[in-house]
Amino acid sequence: MSLTHTAYSTRKLIKFGGLGIILFSFAWSFLVTGIKAYRKAHPPKLPPTVRFGKLPPITFPSKKIEKKDFVLELADDKFSEFPDSAKVYVVYRPTSTILALEEDTKTARSLGFVTQPIKINDGVYQFQNTTFKKTLTMNILDGSFKLEYPYKKDQTLQGSGKLPDKNQAIDTAKAFLRTAGKLGPDLETGEQTITFWKISFDGLHSVLSHSEANAIRVDFLRENPEKDMKIYSTKPDKSSVSVLVSNSAVENKRIIDVDYKYSPIDRESFSTYPIKSAIQAWEELKAGDYWPAIQDSSATVSIRNVNLAYFEPSSLTNYMQPIFVFTGDNDFTAYVPAISSSWISE
């Protein structure tokens, strides 16, 4: 074999070998990218951690459950895809009622209630501001409170004073909660919505527009713990933290009603639990094992939508648990606990 032929063969080998290496590199890169994409779209299913053991059942407020016939009328006539497990979050509670009372007394003073609290029930204390006729009722066990002003009797609020716009009302409500030290991080980053209200002698009525209203209610919605999983309170049309802002130019009459029921949760402290299938939850609804958040007088209710969500604890508990939310005609809304029954204590 001549030297010239050897050189030619070597160059040919290098040429096609290099091309082969390049093609192999592209193929390998494509394969690795494909594997990563598949794993991202189909993550391995890990068994639920259930590290809190059996959970207490969700305690809903007492309400009469009427026998109904339910008809399922969903888009595409089928349930959405739901996971087979969900996170349960730890809810923080005061460890000392004495310290909780001290903290709530400081909060009351920051809001202008300087008198000593009066105990009206176990863990419930009331503060009075006689100058501005306001009442503050605080529950030191669950951290909730209610601020009230007799706005129905105040004729100055029933006029056509300058009502703040949406952003002004939200800023006023946020400033109030900050002053009280009650604007939690997930309330700050969550959504704030407004509704329009009219104060009259016979009560507070919902109206459709800013021009009809003399008060604006700001509802604070927590940032969702999980994507597409909202937190529902006992009133689906009202959040558990709301502030009613009036049209008054008098500073102490701007905030006239506050409902605050907020359970701090640690988004890093959770455990996963198996949940029921949508079909199981549907069967429980039909059997009457549900809690009616919004009632409907009809004997037959068409269910139009089913969601997986979280329930804002309405009573003392250490956990925030998921629920199935069934909604239908005439705003009918029902909650069915989502955690598998085998992991709920009796």
Q: Are residues 319 and 215 in the same domain?
A: no
DSSP 210-251: GGG-SEEEEEEPPPPSBTTB-EE-SSTTS-SEEEEEES-SSG
Count Cα atoms within 13 angstroms, Cβ side, for 135.
11
Q: Residue 73: is its pLDDT beyond 60? A: yes
Q: Residue 63: is its pLDDT beyond 60? A: yes
Nearest to 144 by CA among 264, 63, 252: 264
- 84 part of a folded domain: yes
Q: Are residues 205 and 147 in the same domain?
A: yes
pLDDT band at 117 (very low <50, low <70, confident <90, very high): very high
Using one digit for the tens of pLDDT, what is the confidence trace for 8-36? 555 555 555 566 666 666 666 766 676 66
Domain boundary among 262, 294, 321: 262
- 85 part of a folded domain: yes
pLDDT of residue 77: 78
Which domain does 236 fall in, by range? 143-262
Q: Are residues 156 and 227 in the same domain?
A: yes
CA dist 72 and 82 (Å) reads 17
Q: Are residues 170 and 272 in the same domain?
A: no
The total number of structural domains that make up the chain? 3
Domain boundary among 231, 262, 293: 262
Q: Are residues 251 and 177 in the same domain?
A: yes
Using one digit for the tens of pLDDT, what is the confidence trace for 91-116? 887 667 788 899 999 999 999 999 99
- 97 part of a folded domain: no
Query: Is 181 in contact with 103 (CB distance < 8 Å)?
Result: no
| CB contact set of 338 (below 8 Å; sequence gap of 6+) | 86, 275, 276, 281, 308, 321, 322, 323, 324
CA dist 227 and 224 (Å) reads 6
Q: Residue 6: is its pLDDT beyond 60? A: no
pLDDT of residue 313: 84
Q: Are residues 254 and 286 in the same domain?
A: no
Using one digit for the tens of pLDDT, what is the confidence trace for 318-342? 899 999 999 999 999 999 999 999 9
Using one digit for the tens of pLDDT, what is the confidence trace for 131-157? 999 999 999 988 899 999 999 889 889
Q: Output 346 or 308, whichever has higher pLDDT.
A: 308
CA dist 257 and 259 (Å) reads 7
Q: Are residues 241 and 280 in the same domain?
A: no
- 109 part of a folded domain: no
pLDDT of residue 37: 63
Global pTM reads: 0.81
- 173 part of a folded domain: yes
Cα dihedral 33, 39, 41, 44, rounded to 10, equals 180
